[in-house]
Structure 1
Amino acid sequence: MTLRKILIVDDDQKTRALLKAYLEKNQFEVRLAQDGASFMQAFERYRDELSLVILDVMLPDTDGFALCAHVRKHSRVPIIMLTASADDTDKIVGLELGADDYLGKPYNPRELLARIKAIQRRTGQDGGAPPRYYRFQGFVLDVVGRTLTDPAGDEVKLTGLDFQLLKYFLEHPGEVLDRNVLAEETRGRDLGPLDRSLDVQVSRLRQRLNDDGRQAALIKTVRGSGYVFSADVVTSHA
């Protein structure tokens, strides 16, 4: 069974509570620590059960770098470090000590979730077999049956391209996806400089999802970059 237990150390109580609620909503089991001492106790207790460690750099009794070095000495569990510093030196030091990823504060919890899922894919923690169901905003996509049902339980008609595009968005929630990447993944080719076919396809998918108003809420346009699927996504095998 895939381990999904995450240990988080952050000295801000509000941040800890928000992260715990958000990640538990996305089917992770979360353990919290408020300083280095409580982190060390929790790490020793849960070390063999952890799928990820999230370390805040600034702590009242130590720093995230020391904790990163200790974790890496005793475990290969993936590590994400969080910092409010804009100095690249912190990022370099963390990565040299064995951190797998780095995220600056303030950050969007969806981006943190996307990075966690990316680490899971790279390290094989995603369970091997891909999930069958993707749930978001009351919709359910069944990738085996290739069907989409809306919040009322009615089936939404999708073309093959609709399905491929939606599936790719749901596999990368919270990530800004370049237009050429989306075209390559769904059509097997790059876009020409005047090719608007992908934008037409996104517009059509928005209509399928009732997301085609002036301010799209599910698939948002990131000007100059591409698109981002902004809803929370929960996956399951059954």
Structure 2
Amino acid sequence: MEGSVRLLLVEDDNHVAAALSAVLARHGFEVTHARSGEEALRALLPDSGPPFGVVLLDLGLPDQDGFQVCGRIRKRTTTPVIMVTARADVRSRIHGLHLGADDYVVKPYDTMELLARIHAVSRRTLPADPAPSAEEGPDSRNAPLRIGPVTLDLATRQVAVDGATVSLTRKEFDLLALLAQRPGVVFRREQIISEVWRTSWEGTGRTLEVHIASLRSKLRMPALIETVRGVGYRLVSPAN
């Protein structure tokens, strides 16, 4: 991946931006620095050059709050967004994920940790559909999954609860789809991180917890995803 990712760094502190840009450049990233929300949004316009592979978004911007910028970014592009901020409370993390952020890194951070997270979201693509078995037939993998009042359409990547569409980020959908394809089966944390985040980096564990909390909140069904202490998570059908 190194040498092939164009990265948009949204940071109003020039000293922080210069130091981070130098590190990112040494790891093969082509960095564009935006000092405000509006500058970042202009950089993401279709006629502003090749698409970015990832956006690093500071929340403390001079012209508008980074949460607002994230919401506006998500309306115009699916480019992965990593929020980088000093706001460490869980409420802010969940709010950022609701707005469409793909990850959330708290300052001060370890540079290698940030690089690992950038690599994880940059590698992300739509998950490949597994080949159907002979018993399933060629079209069965496109059939919507139904778990109680929840419906997942893997083909369109849409989720509904009691017929009402629920807006999920890509990682939230991937996580829910993984659990929903085998209801009742306990997925180990390491397995989820490997299949959804495409990484074995153990630091992703906190991000997994935040995504689980966000899913429970958005679906308004806290008991749907059960925590199996010391192991991982499983999806529990309301019928059970």
Q: TM-score of the superposition, structure 1-length normalised?
A: 0.50
Q: TM-score of the superposition, structure 2-length normalised?
A: 0.50
